[in-house]
Structure formats: C-alpha cells, structure tokens
Structure 1
Amino acid sequence: MRWPEGLWPVRMARVAVVAPAGALRDALVRVADAGVVELDPGRRPRAGRNAAADLEPAVLASAPDPGRPAEWNRPDLAEGEAQVRERAAGAVRKGHVAAVVGWMPRAAHAALAARLAEVGAALVRLPHPRGVEAPSLLQGEDRRESLRGSLVPLVATYGPVPYADLDPTPLAWAAYVLMFGIMFGDAGHGLLLLAAAAALLAGRPRRAAPLRRAWPFVLGAGITSTAFGVLYGEFFGPTRVVPRLWLSPLDSPVRLLVFAVGLGAVLLAGAYALGIVNRWREGGWSAALYEPSGISGASVFLGAGALAAGAYFQRPGVALAGAAVAVLGLVAASIGFFARAGGGGTGAVETVVELFDLVMRLGANVVSFARLAAFGLTHAALAAVVWTGTAALWHHGGIARAVAALVFVFGTALTFALEALVAGVQALRLEYYELFSRLFTTQGRPFRPWHIRMTAEEVDAPCPQV
C-alpha cells in the first residue's frame, strides 16, 4: 500500500456486473464467493428463514442438479440459492442482458473481473453518482489479524468513518497509548504489560485467544508506561530501582498538571487540523471555514491560547494578535451558525447561544486533560502506599518479611488491575469526547459486502435438516 492510500478509507468503485441473462446466476455465485461487492439494494433479512443462527449459506458453482436429491436436501445450499435468486430478481434487464450494481474496493476489481470472464460476464466501472456517499471500509478492517486491522476497533467503535474523511486509526492509537502511559507511568507495571503483549501475540494462554487482537494496544501501553515510569522514577512504586529523569508525580503535581494540560492543547490542535481537512473534503471551503470544528473553531482555540500565553508571559503583542485571531474565528463561526439557523431573530438568538457554547466547550475540553495528571498522581500514590507498607514490614524481619512479600504481591496486583482499568477508560474518554468530536461531525455507512461461500460440486450426503 502506498503511503497516501493509508490516509483515508479504502477507495471504492461503483461497478455493474453485466452478464447474459442465462449466465446471471453463475456470475452472481462468483460475486458472492469473492465477498468484495456490496450490491444495491442491500439484502433485507427474511422473517422465518434460518432458524439456526449458525447456519452458513453456501452455493454450488453450477445450479443444483435435479437428478441429485442430496444437493436439494442441504439447508445451507437452499439458503444460498435463495439469496442468489433474490439478487437475480432485482437485476436490471434489457433484452438478453442483465446487470446488478454495487460498490467494491478498487484494488479487488481486476481479480473479480477475471473470475466473471470465466462465465462470460463483465465487471464495468461506473461514475460515482453525485450526492451518494460510498460505503466506508477502513484500511485493514477486512484483515483483522493484521497490525492495521487490530487497531481499527478503536475508531470503528466510535462509529463508521465517513468515506470522504481521513482515517485517523494510527494517530488515534498513538494518542491513546500516550495518554495511557502518562496515567500509568511505572516501569515495573509497564514491563508487565509488555510481557502480556508478548503472551497475547504468541496466543498464550489459549483462553485469552479472543483478546489477541488487542496486543498492539497492550504493547503500546507497555512502552509508554515504562517510558514515563523511568521519567517519574517509578518501578513498582518509589523503589529507587530506576533513576528519576524528570519529575516525581507526588513531589511535583503542579508541573505534571501543566504538562497534561499543555499536551491536551497540542492534541486538540492536531484534532482541529485533521478536522479542517475533513470539513473541506466533506463540503468544500465553506464547510472548512464556517464549521466550529473547522477553521473558525481552530482560530478561536489558537487565538485564545495565544491570548492566555501573551498575558502570562507579559507579551502584549502576542496577546493582541491572539485576541484578533479569536475574534475573527468567532465572526466566522457566527456566520455559519446564523446561516444554518435560517437567519432572522430566531437565528440570531441561536447564534449567540451556539457561540457561548463554543467558547465554554473549548475551555472545558482543555481543562479535561488535567485528568491525565490527576490519575497519574493517583497511580503513583497507590504504588507508594504499597511500597511503604512493604518496606515497613520488611524491616521487622522474621515472619514479617513473608507478610511484606504478600502485601507487595497483592497490593501490586490490585493497583495494577485498578489503575489499568481507570487509565484505559479515561484515555478512551478523552479520545472520543475531546478529539474525535472535532474529527467527525457525521457518521459514514459501513461497507457490507455480500458473501456466500462456494462449495465443491461433490455432495456426498445430506446435512441434517434444520
């Protein structure tokens, strides 16, 4: 994959499967077996069919032979043939030619065209219809075991990415594990996460096989947690096993708070940059300029930041420039709000309310990143309690040392489990509410290809009736 292709969802093509009427069934079977085409209209579930939820439909390469009853007694073949007949019934026909229309990834066009040529059918590229959004398939989403595919759930859980928007999957993963590491900064705990990632990647334990796709998140969280643990001087608490390279959360909470809020401002600025690109791709320069997640909102955000920085560092020029940029942003946003509200007195009132909400939300979004420092401080405090209790018992010698070992093991396990859960949830919360809300203003339509497996023509015995 060339690097620009990874910046947005898989590029789709509008296609028509064209075949002689007599070969339409064979063409549809090959389309279904390839599983790369979403036909129009999408299949609607039929009530009363498929009583067994785990029944997987199948089709034969050629139509079932009336002289072979076994081919008619297979429930999976019956369901597969029923779906093929439905698709054939919805085809556009003209004379002796029939066609069905749908969407498919551009990269899969050549392979499917070759399969259709075997039965005298063709795959024709069509123009992208105006006003119709193509279905969205994120890079790697159809290859769940790949690295990129393992990262997709972070974005897909929020909602389908619009086809016109950028695909932020790698950046979203990087931001998530970075925020996790700040809150979970402990080199010892980070090494445990790295060991867990290695175990998941190796498929161990077998009971954890359903969680295997999470290994990139566990690996990234382990790396960032270990790195911030070294910066904090934390290794299963303040054990002094690793030197402190930056600050101690318990000794310098204000510095950590300033860092967290500053990092939040940087992440928000990045989200605005991606949001501007998305608004432009969705609706052109007008949307990019007037939408609050576009240039107008970014101007208010950056202008307010420059105003605050100029006032704090006593730089009047910077403060005035920031105020001017913020005012321009508010003017642009008000134009967008007023036009969207339909104008008039009601539109003016709605514009004032929207502007107030925009300003308040910006401040709340920046302050929200203070939770990175708060939970990082909590993690360090819990680890310090466990280590202090362990050290106090250890100095008594004798059986107290055995108790100290138990306190350390169980206290570390409790701290690890509790803080990992809290850090994971809070990082996800910041990702969705503060960052993704600027990247996406609408949701796309997920790509749902039609797939029925093609089975061998040899049918030895009927399956049990369902």
Structure 2
Amino acid sequence: MSWSEAVRPVRMQRVAIVAPYETLRETLVRIAEAGNVEIDRIEDPAHATPGPAARRLQRLRTEPPYALLCVAPPDLDDLERAGRTDLLAGEAQLEERIGSAVRRGAVAALAGWCPAAEVRATAARLADVGGVLVPMRTPGGTDPPTLLRDTGAVRGSFSPLVRTYGTVPYADIDPTMPAGIVYVVMFGVMFGDAGHGALLLLTALLLYLGRPRRLAPLRRLWPFVAGAGLTSTAAGVAYGELFGPTGVLPVLWLDPLEQPMRLLAAAVGLGVALLALAYGAGIVNRWREGGPANALCAASGVAGAVLFLGFAVLAGGVLAGRTGLALGGAVLAFAGLALAGSGLFTASAGGVGGAVQTGVQLFDVVVRIGSNVVSFARLAAFGLTHAALGEIVWRGTTGLAGKGAVALLGAVVVFTVGNALAFALEALVAGVQALRLEFYELFSRVFETQGRPFRPWHVPVQHMEVAS
C-alpha cells in the first residue's frame, strides 16, 4: 500500500448487482455472507409494506438476538411455528433488498458501494448463480461512504478517537494515526509522573494479556494505553516526578512547581505547532473537497493559515521588540483576513446583509484563533495540578515518617491512598482535557463537514437445512 492510500479512507467503487430474477435470492445471500457491499435502499424501511417474513416476525412479538439466512428458501410457516426469529429476521431483510431491486423483464438489479479492492473477489462469488457485480461511475454530486482502515494494533486502538468525533468525509485525509499520537502526547504532558506512567504501562500489559477477563473486550486498546503510559513516563522523567517529588529522579528539564511560566510557555508553543499542523491538514482537505479556490479562501484553509501565521509573527515581533517583524506579521494577517473575507462573502447572500454577516464571521475567526492558542495553556495548568497533588501527598508522607511505628503505618497509607486518588483523578481530567483540545481546537480546522459511514449488509448464512 502506498503512503497516499494509507492516509485516506478506503477507496470505494460504485457497483450494480445484476442477476436473473429467479436467482436474485441466491445472489443476495452470497452478498450478505460476504458482508462487503452496501446496498442502496429505494424505500425507507420504516414506511415499507412488510413482507411475509416480516409479518410473521411481528406476530411473534419478540426481538431476534441476531439475523441469520438459509442458503435454500425456508418454509416461513415452519419457522414461525418453531419460533426461529433469527431466520425470520434474515428473511425479512432479504425481502427488503429484493423489494428495492429494479426489475426489467427477467433481470433484476440493485446499486450500492463496495471497497474497490474487493470488487473482483465478490464478483467471483456470484458467477456460478448467474449474478454479476458491475463497476459503475460515481454519480455526480454523490459522495461515497467512508470506511477507515483499522488494520494493525496501533491504528485499531486509535480509531475510536476519530469515530467518536464523527465520520470523516470520503475526500478528506484519514487522521487516525496523527490524532492518536497527538492525544497521547498531550495526555503525557498533563499526567507527567514516571510512577503513574509505569502504572499505565502495567495496565496496558494486563489488557494485552486479557487480564482480568471482564476487561477482555478492551484488549484492542492496549497500544493506546501503552502510548499514554510512555508519554507520561517520559514527562515524569523530564519533571523529576516519581509518585510525586520523591527525589528519586533528578529534574532533567524543569520542575513544574518551581518554573510554572516556563512550562506555560512550552505548552502554548506546543499548541501553536499543533494548530499549524491542523491548518496544513485543513488545506489538503479543502483542496480535495472543493478544489484550489476553496482551499485558498477557506477560514480553515490557506486564508486561515496565513492569518494564523501573521498573528504568530506579529506576536513574536512585539515580544522581541522588532518593529519590522511586527509589521510583516500585520501584513500577513491582513492578507489572511482579506482572503477569508472574500470566501465568506462569496458564500453569503451578498449585499449589505452579506457584508455584515462576513464581518461577524471574520471577528469570530480572529477570536477563535486567540482563544484556541490560549486554550493550550491547560496543558501546563493540569500538569501543575498533577505536580501539586504529588507534592501534597509527599509532604504528608514525609511529615508522618520517623515518628514511630503507628505514624510510619500512617505514612504508608497516606502515600498509597494519596497516589491512588491522584492517579484516578488526574487520569480522568487529563483524558477529558486532551480529548477536548483534540476535538475543538484541532479537528475543527481539519474537518468542515461530516461524511457518511460505510454500512455493508452482512448476515451470517446457515448452510445446513432447517428442520421442520
């Protein structure tokens, strides 16, 4: 797979399922078993007239645990008497698809979508029953459904981040890997403690081993948890934190409580770098969605990136006391505003109302850039909170130590319970705040629209005969 294919959704192919009407059922059964074709529905199932299988299923008044299909057409009355709601549910779904077929004489056809790499193999499954899977051109103005790759342990563990936000538009890049890396880095900055990071690594190991068994459904998340543990451990080593300021580790970079402003500046600097990357991804997406003109004038495209760069250069010039640099930044910012304004005005109704609307939207763009940059200060704020909690627990521990056996026992309890509380509280807070920064500050620039998820029709097939 080329790198260009790896950073975009799975390529989809518009297809037609064509078969003699007398073998349409067999053809659709094989499509359902393959589970890689999304079939267009002509009629909304909620308003469709129920077929024979659906009516029998309604009479049983029980929800089937799952749907199942038979290779050969079963006797529906036998299924109803036997209470086989699973097979009735499968036949009801089959009736809906057959009802959506377009029939011309003895031939029936349905349209849908299939991953391009699977079209040939799927067509081969249909050949011996007279069915064919015909590739077609994508209709104008129609976006294919989106299917993201989740192959591989790391990509699979990061994919819930993107899916929780929404469906990636088909034309856009797939941000799964960079989004996961950015998340665990931000989490580690806020959760910087080598001891707590080691506990996360232990948790990842237990998930990988499937222990305890009730957490086995979360096993696929072990790389995500391991990544958070690695970044937290690295940040803890940089801060000199091991279950708090115990003095076991030397401070390699800075002590959060001693140098909060330096940590704050580093957090904002990291935010500026991440926003720049988000603008880069936004430019690529706007180009793919609407061409170069859209990429140039979009507030999340070149126009927004130039405005952001202009403000950054302007701020740098002011802080450094360099007038020329500040003037250059102001010119860049004005150019970005002009580009964004032209795009917003073109998208409006025009006239005085359009001009007012454009002004309000430009003001919002400017305010958002400032607020988003400042928002990354929370990386430092919650990193300080974590360090402060560790300091409190460690002071309580050392205050009790050396004052007798009872006090020593109390010190152990304070150290253990205090670290457990700090771990639980800060893991929750850092996880939520990293998610917030990812969604609101970064993804809001990467995505402007939502795509439609690929929902293939998949029903398991029972190859044995159904007993009467």
1:166 and 2:173 aligned: yes
CA–CA distance in structure 2, aligned partners of residues 445 and 220 of structure 1: 30
Post-superposition, which runs of at least 4 consecutive aligned residues in structure 1 deviate over 6 A? none
CA–CA distance in structure 2, aligned partners of residues 148 and 108 of structure 1: 21
Which residue of structure 2 lines up, in the alignment, with residue 106 of structure 1?
116
Counterpart residue type for residue 206 of structure 2? A
Which residue of structure 1 lines up, in the alignment, with residue 357 of structure 2?
350
Which residue of structure 1 lines up, in the alignment, with residue 238 of structure 2?
231
Which residue of structure 2 lines up, in the alignment, with residue 94 of structure 1?
104
Q: Of 108, 112, 115, which residue of structure 1 is paired with 2:125?
A: 115
Instruction: After TM superposition, give the deviation of residue 178 of structure 1 in Å.
Output: 0.4
Instruction: After TM superposition, give the deviation of residue 304 of structure 1 in Å.
Output: 0.6
Deviations along 1:58-102, one digit per CA (max 9) or x if unpaired, are 111122269x94698432222212221221122122222211110
CA–CA distance in structure 2, aligned partners of residues 89 and 402 of structure 1: 74
Instruction: After TM superposition, give the deviation of residue 193 of structure 1 in Å.
Output: 0.3
Deviations along 1:390-423, one digit per CA (max 9) or x if unpaired, are 1111122322111100000000000000000000
Which residue of structure 1 lines up, in the alignment, with residue 199 of structure 2?
192
Counterpart residue type for residue 283 of structure 2? I
1:14 and 2:38 aligned: no
Q: Of 355, 359, 380, which residue of structure 2 is paired with 1:373?
A: 380
1:250 and 2:257 aligned: yes
More helix by share: 2
Deviations along 1:352-403, one digit per CA (max 9) or x if unpaired, are 1111111111000000000000000000000011011111111223221111
SS of the residue aligned with 2:109? Answer: strand
CA–CA distance in structure 2, aligned partners of residues 54 and 411 of structure 1: 49
For the 8 Å contact 2:79–2:87, the answer to whether it is kept is no
Deviations along 1:298-329, one digit per CA (max 9) or x if unpaired, are 11101110111122123333222221111110
1:399 and 2:406 aligned: yes
SS of the residue aligned with 1:98? Answer: strand
Counterpart residue type for residue 45 of structure 2? R
Which residue of structure 1 lines up, in the alignment, with residue 155 of structure 2?
148
For the 8 Å contact 2:32–2:457, the answer to whether it is kept is yes
Which residue of structure 2 lines up, in the alignment, with residue 25 of structure 1?
25
Which residue of structure 2 lines up, in the alignment, with residue 458 of structure 1?
465
Counterpart residue type for residue 29 of structure 2? V
Q: In the TM superposition, what are the counterparts of 1:16-415 in structure 2 within 5 Å?
A: 16-41=16-41, 44-45=45-46, 49=57, 51-64=61-74, 69=78, 73=82, 74-140=84-150, 146-415=153-422
CA–CA distance in structure 2, aligned partners of residues 398 and 78 of structure 1: 71
Gaps of 5+ in 2: none
Deviations along 1:163-220, one digit per CA (max 9) or x if unpaired, are 1111101100011000000000000000000000110111111122233233222111
Instruction: After TM superposition, give the deviation of residue 351 of structure 1 in Å.
Output: 1.4
Counterpart residue type for residue 387 of structure 2? A
Pair 25,146 (structure 1): closer, same or farther in 2 beyond 3 Å = farther
Counterpart residue type for residue 44 of structure 1? P
State the number of aligned residues.
Answer: 457
Gaps of 5+ in 1: none
For the 8 Å contact 1:290–1:332, the answer to whether it is kept is yes
CA–CA distance in structure 2, aligned partners of residues 271 and 206 of structure 1: 39
SS of the residue aligned with 2:251? Answer: coil
CA–CA distance in structure 1, aligned partners of residues 397 and 213 of structure 2: 34
Which residue of structure 2 lines up, in the alignment, with residue 417 of structure 1?
424
Which residue of structure 1 lines up, in the alignment, with residue 446 of structure 2?
439
CA–CA distance in structure 2, aligned partners of residues 295 and 82 of structure 1: 51
CA–CA distance in structure 2, aligned partners of residues 288 and 108 of structure 1: 33
CA–CA distance in structure 2, aligned partners of residues 30 and 150 of structure 1: 31
CA–CA distance in structure 2, aligned partners of residues 13 and 71 of structure 1: 39
Deviations along 1:427-458, one digit per CA (max 9) or x if unpaired, are 00000000000011111111111111111223
RMSD: 1.9
For the 8 Å contact 2:64–2:89, the answer to whether it is kept is no
CA–CA distance in structure 1, aligned partners of residues 414 and 463 of structure 2: 62
CA–CA distance in structure 1, aligned partners of residues 295 and 426 of structure 2: 39
Identity of aligned pairs, percent? Answer: 57
State the TM-score, normalizing by the size of structure 1: 0.94
For the 8 Å contact 1:196–1:218, the answer to whether it is kept is yes
Instruction: After TM superposition, give the deviation of residue 286 of structure 1 in Å.
Output: 1.7
The worse-fitting range, judged by mean Cα deviation, of 75-84 and 20-29 is 75-84
